[in-house]
Amino acid sequence: MSLLATIIVVIIFNTIVAVAALMLFDMYKQSAKKSTKKQNSVERHHKNPVLAPHPDHPWESYSTFNPGAVLDDDEQVHLLYRAMGDDGVSRMGYSKSEDGFHFGEKIGYPVFSMQSPRKMHPTIIRRPDPVMYPSGGSWGGCEDPRIVRIGDTIYVTFNAFDGWDFIRMGCVSINAKDFFEKKWNWSQPMLISPPGELHKNWVLFPEKINGKFAILHSIYPEISIEYVNRLEDLASGVQVIKSPWKDRIPRDSWDTWLRGAGPPPLRTERGWLVLYHAMDASDPNRYKLGAFLLDFHDPTKILARAPEPLLVPDMWYENAEPGIVYVCGALIKKDTLFIYYGGGNKYVCVATAPLDHILNKLVAV
């Protein structure tokens, strides 16, 4: 075969491959659109992701995801997001938005970090490794912040991660005025879950109940809430939370396996709205978002729940690491539910829905 003929054959082959790839991508987009229309109860922002890794900031060059969210008195949205750089350490970054969609203000440094929660000092630098550490690739640091504002204080709970044998719940607080003015006068961090146990999904209620902090620390096999006078009592061991655990019995529904609570509960006129993560046995290895409603007077009682997932990982930015929508932040802003989530353990994304639309979809149990 002559050189010209060989070149022609290669061009034809590459053209066929390119056309096939475009056809497959178009099929994927159409399938995602159909799946999104069928399964998702919320609308993704058309410019998702709203925050992405920054190549010029080494501390957040690998990923920015799983944001906690809080409103100020002017209904501006403030995010603390999990950021990871080439050193494989998770830290917290900050960004603000007036409308809840456009996050133009982003600080070029981490606003909170806790590199070695058990005071380990590694002598070698470890890189991000999504195989060894599939929950984002980080080998240590502060992960997945959840934010509540109680009175004049903002509390942030997070995962203090230092290897698979050390996953504890951390908590730090700051004066709300300082936080909104970007004066990072954090309290001394506390570890509020028991030593020797692994916990990742504890969330604070955004107000005290009967004068006590309320901590939702398990949603399976039942709703489990602990009430404490002082968070310091958990850190010192004066009071210990024992989360129930048992082998997971598959549920006969889309949320076959309940993974844990997402953001802190939201107060609505009908009860506490709780968003949670779950997986479906018929569609395995994909995190999906569900919702249920808890009774005001007895928050361990589920009043209603969503019969189908609110959000399913169908978009490209939710599959950087395949099949993940992970929600740590949610707000009610002008009767609209804003959901802030990590897409594919890589990006910060937002989805919204009228609050009544979500509440009306919940089915009494």
Q: What is the CATH number of the domain that holds 301?
A: 2.115.10.20
pLDDT of residue 130: 66
Cα dihedral sign, 330-333-338-341: negative
First to last CA, the chain: 73
* Residue 10 forms part of a structural domain: no
**181-189 own/partner pairs: CB under 8 Å, 24+ apart:** 182/94, 182/107, 182/111, 184/111, 184/112, 186/112, 189/114, 189/160
Give pLDDT tens digits along the chain (365 positions): 553 443 343 344 444 434 333 343 343 344 344 343 445 799 999 999 999 999 999 999 999 999 999 999 999 999 999 999 988 899 999 999 999 999 987 889 999 998 667 653 333 345 566 655 566 667 789 999 999 999 999 999 999 998 888 899 999 999 999 999 999 999 999 999 999 999 999 999 999 999 999 999 999 989 999 999 999 999 999 999 998 766 566 678 899 999 999 999 999 999 999 999 999 999 988 999 999 999 999 999 999 999 999 999 999 999 999 999 999 999 999 999 999 999 999 999 999 999 999 999 999 99
* Residue 98 forms part of a structural domain: yes
* Residue 61 forms part of a structural domain: yes
pLDDT of residue 124: 38
- As for how many domains the chain has, the answer is 1
* Residue 164 forms part of a structural domain: yes
Domain that holds residue 300: 40-364
What pTM did the predictor assign? 0.86
* Residue 110 forms part of a structural domain: yes
* Residue 35 forms part of a structural domain: no
* Residue 70 forms part of a structural domain: yes
What residue type is assigned to position 143 of the chain?
A: E
Rounded distance between C-alpha atoms, residue 209 and residue 131, angstroms: 41
**236-242 own/partner pairs: CB under 8 Å, 24+ apart:** 237/194, 240/194, 241/192, 241/193, 241/194, 241/202, 241/215, 241/217, 242/194
* Residue 25 forms part of a structural domain: no
